[in-house]
Amino acid sequence: MVKKQKQKIILPPDLPPDINEDEIEVSDEDLQFVNENREYAGFVSRLDTKSITKHVTRVADVKEDALEALYEKRLKKKLLQREQEEDSKLQVDHVEALPIKTLDGQLKYRTVTKPSTASESGVTGERETGGDDEDDTAGKSIVKLTKAEKRAKLKKSRKEAKKQGKELDESEAEQTPQAVVLAEVKEDLTAEEAFENKKRKLAELGIALLADPESNIKSLKEFLQLCKDNDHAIVKLGLLSLLAVFKDIIPGYRIRLPTEKEQEMKVSKDVKKMRFYESTLLSSYKAYLQRLTALEKQLSFQQVAIRCICTLLDAVPHFNFRESLLGVVVRNIGSPDDVIRRLCCSTIKSLFKNEGKHGGEATVEAVRLIAHYVKDHNCQWHPDSIEVFLSLSFDEDISRPEKADEKNKGKNKKNKKRKSVEEPSQLQDNRRKRSKQELTEKMREEVNADYKAVAFTPNVAEQRRKQSETLSAVFETYFRILKHALQSIAARPEVDASLSAGGSGSHPLLAPCLKGLGKFSHLIDIDFMGNLIDHLKRLASGGSISENNSGKCLTSLTVSERLQCCIVAFKVMRTNLDALNVDLQQFFVQLYNLILEYRPGRDQGEVLTEALKVMLCDDRQHDMQKAAAFVKRLATFSLCFGSAESMAALVTLKHLLQKNIKCRNLLENDAGGGSVSGSIAKYHPYEKDSNLSGALASVLWELNLLSKHYHPAISLLASNISSMSVANNQVYLSNISPIQAFTDMSLERETFDPPSGINKSNNKRKRGIGSSISASVETSGETSSIDEDELRKKLSAHFMLLRDIKENKKLRSELEHVTSSLQQHKEYKQQKRKTTQRPKSKKKLV
């Protein structure tokens, strides 16, 4: 028998005794070792103490049996947790996934965890927390929770869940601005997408209409609906797209809709299709024009609408609804907006120039509308509205061929009557022959009428009729403007000088009216010539002239307008020399006076030079007194103004001297002023009449000053004029005109650089500071450069001295005033003393 050996019970090692940290002593050697080997002991600081204390737990004051039971309980809890995790997993289908074979030979399939619900998660969480608490309590002391404590824990967990829900709601509320921004971005994106879709739709409709307008004519209604969109950009794009479509598909004839009888008639399919196409096109075009006229009154769409209307009127003036287009364009021809006004003016001018598109009918209508608007606005409209008449063109022989045709027709009728009276027997015999001839003539007339209706060659009689109507409307407008100007001047004879010096504010249409009369003067009827010349005389003299207290004449017309009246009168007289016999002396008097009233910045130099050319250069030889007066006046004028005006005046002066040889006596430096035989009137420089000025008694001393002009061209021309002599009777008229000389010098004025050097002068100079400056400059020489610093110092010293002199004068005047006041005060005191002493002396005497 083998003796059974007693099983030895292995006990765990005893724990070290608990020692307080205060009692632990660390030797110096240990400290030295740790300090020297810190690299090896650095891992201690990185140890996770929480995980160590979690896995290594000490249960104090527990017996061995209780400790074993505690370990067994922990193992049971772990096994329960694993079973719950396995139960919470879902087994995957056998077909979808292959199993795994373990070492034991068992097949295990893959599993997926179940999605935990909120309730399950709450219960499991409570269980887990309860288990943790139990573990903690078990670690400290083995205690089980009662039902009341479990209920309290459930209440706490629910409260915490509610708090978390509120926090989530607050976080969502804080994110509302971001949500608003995101919503706005989404709206912008949708608006951009809608805008792009509408643009794409416009493009598709336009391409379809341009490709095949007959089959896609119904899409014009969709186009018009897009033009009524709320988006302004889409509306503008739609209007411009429809403009391009209508310009392309509108036919070259006016559409006439069929009548009721024509609609009842049976027609072919092609005719029905054409009628439907034309009616749809005309109705859509009418709706488009109505939309344009409605948008023309809105500021945001005004320019786009006017541009579309002007383009349509210029492109298709022959089509329907031309009258409505013309009404809008003429109404805006005097608009304050520069862009709209220029568009309308250019459209009207293109209508006047391209009459082949409409046969001249649009020209007559436009001129009548402009005349009507001028009358309604009482001649207070923009000048561009009348300047469009200058682009009109008329046939010079409008009435002559018509009269010849009427004479020929009258002769033929008289010959027929004579034949019918002289040969009655032959008429009866040849009745049958004439009936056949009449039938053939009627057929020919019908054929000719149809041919003229279809032919492109214009009808001469119809063209003359339209031109005569247009010309009558134009002259009616011009004469109305002249009468209005005269009436306004007569109503306001005394006008402020600032008004007369300014622009044509009171008569804005007078200047273009005078330009038009000058251009079409050869077409004016002779019956109106006398009244026109009388009106021009009154306007050139300023209408009714009055003198103010200073003796100066004040008018409401500018110098340029009065000069334009003189120019128009001379043009009218030149074209009708045979029919009119009018004295133009009054216009010469006005020109003689207006030359000195001219101001470069205020008045137009082109008008003055044109007056000099038309009235003095182009006219036949003048009277000697008149020519001499104008020569003297032009010489004075050339001294007062700029280089361009001086050059034009000298060119006219030279022309007058070359034409009138006797006026060259003004170049002689005699005591009497010249060697003309006979009595010479005394020179009156301020005489208003050129014939009474006595200019032959004067000398052109102005040429001597002009020969030293800073501009070399003027000095050269003045020296050439002064070298002319009376003995040389040959006439060499200059090729250059005053207008050309003015324009050339005005263009050269921008680039002209006068010489900086100061020439030496032999004339005696006055003594003083100015003479010292000039002497210092002369000694430096002509080509030497001037020292600016030295000159600046001398000028500063000169002006300082002038300032001291002015201050000295001021102080002296103040001193004299003070002394005079003191002297008066003394005299007053003396006078007062005398008056006080007289009654005392009388009393003593008594």
pLDDT tens across 608-628, in order? 999 999 888 887 667 788 888
Q: What is the mean pLDDT of residues 492-499?
A: 43
Burial of 597 (0-12, 13-18, 19+ CB in 10 A): middle
Q: Which residue has the higher pLDDT, 97 or 727?
A: 97
Nearest of 220, 221, 223 to residue 198 by alpha carbon: 223
Residues 139/140/144/147 CA torsion (nearest 10 deg): -110
Ranking 246-260, 345-359, 428-442, 523-537 by mean pLDDT, the lowest is: 428-442
pLDDT (tens digit per residue) in 306-328: 999 999 999 999 998 999 999 99
| pLDDT for residue 477 | 92
Q: What is the mean pLDDT of residues 433-439?
A: 74
CA distance 595 to 559: 9
| pLDDT for residue 168 | 58
Helices first, then strands: H and E counts in the chain? 32, 6
Counting residues of the chain whose pLDDT is more than 70, the rounded percentage is: 66
Q: Say if residues 667 and 724 touch (Cβ distance below 8 Å).
A: yes
Nearby residues of 208 by Cβ (< 8 Å), 6 or more positions away: 216, 219
How far is residue 25 CA from its own chain's centroid? 99
Does the pLDDT of residue 27 top 60, yes or no?
Answer: yes
Confidence of residue 572 (pLDDT cuts 50, 70, 90): confident
Q: Which element (helix H / strand E) includes 112?
A: strand 111-113
Give the number of other CB atoms < 10 A from CB of residue 383. Answer: 16
Buried b (16+ CB within 10 A) or exposed e, 248-262: ebbeeeeeeeeeeee
| pLDDT for residue 54 | 58
| pLDDT for residue 288 | 93
Confidence of residue 422 (pLDDT cuts 50, 70, 90): very low
pLDDT (tens digit per residue) in 818-827: 888 888 888 8
Question: How is residue 555 written in tokens?
Answer: 């008018």
Q: Which residue has the higher pLDDT, 811 or 137?
A: 811
Q: Say if residues 569 and 537 touch (Cβ distance below 8 Å).
A: yes
Q: Say if residues 656 and 631 touch (Cβ distance below 8 Å).
A: yes
Confidence of residue 665 (pLDDT cuts 50, 70, 90): confident
Query: Which position has the token pair 């003689």?
Result: 592
| pLDDT for residue 138 | 43
| pLDDT for residue 775 | 40
Confidence of residue 351 (pLDDT cuts 50, 70, 90): very high
Does the pLDDT of residue 258 top 70, yes or no?
Answer: yes
pLDDT (tens digit per residue) in 723-754: 876 555 544 455 688 888 888 887 776 566 66
Nearest of 330, 327, 334 to residue 380 by alpha carbon: 334
Ranking 334-343, 406-415, 512-521, 572-581 by mean pLDDT, the lowest is: 406-415
Quick one: residue 777, left, alpha or beta (phi over 0 = left, psi -120 to 50 = alpha)?
alpha
Q: Say if residues 583 and 557 touch (Cβ distance below 8 Å).
A: no
Phi, psi for 807 (deg, rounded to 5)? -65, -40
Nearest of 486, 492, 493, 495 to residue 513 by alpha carbon: 486
Q: What is the mean pLDDT of residues 56-77?
A: 70
Does the pLDDT of residue 676 top 80, yes or no?
Answer: no
| pLDDT for residue 686 | 56
Buried b (16+ CB within 10 A) or exposed e, 454-485: eeeeeeeeeebebbbebbebbbebbbbbbebb
| pLDDT for residue 663 | 84
What 3-state class would DSSP assign to 438? helix
| pLDDT for residue 283 | 92
Nearest of 445, 446, 448, 470 to residue 459 by alpha carbon: 448
pLDDT (tens digit per residue) in 353-377: 988 888 888 999 999 999 999 999 8
Nearby residues of 625 by Cβ (< 8 Å), 6 or more positions away: 690, 691, 693, 695, 696
Q: What is the mean pLDDT of residues 482-506?
A: 59
Q: Tell me the chain's radius of gyration from C-alpha atoms.
A: 57
Per 3-state DSSP, the chain is made up of helix, strand and coil in percentages (nearest 5) of 65, 0, 30
Q: What is the mean pLDDT of residues 560-573?
A: 88
Ranking 90-94, 99-103, 214-218, 487-491 by mean pLDDT, the lowest is: 90-94
Confidence of residue 55 (pLDDT cuts 50, 70, 90): low
Does the pLDDT of residue 410 top 90, yes or no?
Answer: no
Alpha helices by DSSP H, 266-337: 269-295, 302-315, 322-331
| pLDDT for residue 146 | 64
| pLDDT for residue 751 | 65
CA distance 533 to 584: 9
Counting residues of the chain whose pLDDT is more than 90, the rounded percentage is: 15
Phi, psi for 562 (deg, rounded to 5)? -70, -40
Out of 15-24, 240-249, 776-785, give the one with best mean pLDDT.
240-249
Does the pLDDT of residue 586 top 90, yes or no?
Answer: no
Give the number of other CB atoms < 10 A from CB of residue 345. Answer: 22
Confidence of residue 188 (pLDDT cuts 50, 70, 90): low
| pLDDT for residue 557 | 82
| pLDDT for residue 419 | 47
Residue-averaged pLDDT of the chain = 75
Q: How far is CA 413 from CA 31, 408, 417, 420, 443, in A?
A: 154, 9, 6, 11, 21
Residues 61/65/69/75 CA torsion (nearest 10 deg): 90
Q: Say if residues 243 and 311 touch (Cβ distance below 8 Å).
A: yes
Does the pLDDT of residue 436 top 80, yes or no?
Answer: no
Amino acid found at 438: E
Query: Which position has the token pair 């001037």?
Result: 786
Ranking 223-227, 436-440, 766-770 by mean pLDDT, the lowest is: 766-770
| pLDDT for residue 427 | 52
Q: Say if residues 688 and 717 touch (Cβ distance below 8 Å).
A: no
Give the number of other CB atoms < 10 A from CB of residue 524. Answer: 18
| pLDDT for residue 844 | 45
pLDDT (tens digit per residue) in 516-561: 988 888 888 777 888 888 888 888 887 544 434 344 444 578 888 8
CA distance 292 to 319: 17
| pLDDT for residue 314 | 92
Question: How is residue 844 written in tokens?
Answer: 């003593």
Does the pLDDT of residue 789 top 50, yes or no?
Answer: yes
| pLDDT for residue 304 | 93
CA distance 556 to 558: 7
